[in-house]
Structure 1
Amino acid sequence: MNSSDTTATAELGLRLVVPDRTAVPLVARLDYTANDPYAIKVAFHVGEDEPVEWIFARELLTVGIVRPVGEGDVRVWPSKGDGERTINISLSSPFGQAQFDAAISPLAEFLHRTYEIVPAGQEADYVDLDAEIEQHLYQ
């Protein structure tokens, strides 16, 4: 995992859960920055093409480690299989659906680092609301 005072990056090994087949291993890159303190960008590397990117609420992934959370397009829940605690992530879009699972430990380590950068409940202190409004008004 790479990190600085305002950013954290990690690679997470995932398994794409494919019905009636062996799970397909892949890697996702996780990026967090204090400039966008509520979000974690996840780039799924699914082949030689550009990665597929999703943006998750940091809180969604954090809560998903301990209990089911989310509805609609993104759902996250913990499970235990083969003696290993895992997190499941289900994604749905107009282009299709996918379900992944990953070991909880590396994700929890990454999330811990994000909370060292921006503590829970202090996210609003890192957002320049006036600049955000101005950016959207004058695009």
Structure 2
Amino acid sequence: MGIEPPIVRATIIFGLRTFGAVPLPVRADLEYDASDPYAVSVGYHAGAGVVRWLFGRDLLADGLLAPAGDGDVQVRPAADESRVVVELNAPDGSAVLEAEASELADFLDRTYDEVPVGDEPSWFDFDRELTKLAYRD
């Protein structure tokens, strides 16, 4: 039996920015699975459901320091440098959320403890991922 890839989890309360009001608290469950070493999964609890987003670990890390991303997910430091802004854009709508930079940095540090930058290829099973793509309808 092989070694199970480590999984790093954290729950962080984000603030959903709304016009002219205090940000609304939104629980987010972050997960980093070393079997997909380049990605971070974030499940935002919205009403009775969970909205999942998958984006690059490096995007989250880069966004702690400077604006990063030019697609559906953009991450940047907030005006208050102790916070980070995450913008999510989808055909159904968009959301602007903010979180404590230190909490995101702590989560990322724990992912780097498990899979340091540059070691991702040793955890990534290219053949398995290719097989998953080949069997999609």
TM-score (norm. length: structure 2): 0.90
Cα contact 1:5–1:117 (8 A) shared by 2: no
Q: Hey, what does 2:6 align to over in structure 1?
A: 6
Alignment of 1:41 onto 2:38: no
For 1:91 and 1:31, the matched residues in 2 are separated by: 17
Question: How far did residue 80 of structure 1 move?
Answer: 4.1
Q: Gapped runs of 5+ residues in structure 1?
A: none
Alignment of 1:62 onto 2:61: yes
Q: Hey, what does 1:15 align to over in structure 2?
A: 15
Alignment of 1:120 onto 2:120: no
Q: Hey, what does 1:92 align to over in structure 2?
A: 89
For 2:61 and 2:110, the matched residues in 1 are separated by: 12
Cα contact 1:13–1:102 (8 A) shared by 2: yes
Q: Hey, what does 2:78 align to over in structure 1?
A: 79
Question: How far did residue 133 of structure 1 move?
Answer: 1.7
Cα contact 2:84–2:100 (8 A) shared by 1: yes
Question: How far did residue 23 of structure 1 move?
Answer: 1.0
Q: Gapped runs of 5+ residues in structure 2?
A: none
For 2:66 and 2:91, the matched residues in 1 are separated by: 26
Report percent identity of matched pairs.
Answer: 38
For 1:59 and 1:69, the matched residues in 2 are separated by: 9
Deviating beyond 4 angstroms after TM superposition, the runs of 4 or more aligned structure 1 residues are none
TM-score (norm. length: structure 1): 0.89
Amino acid at match of 1:35: S
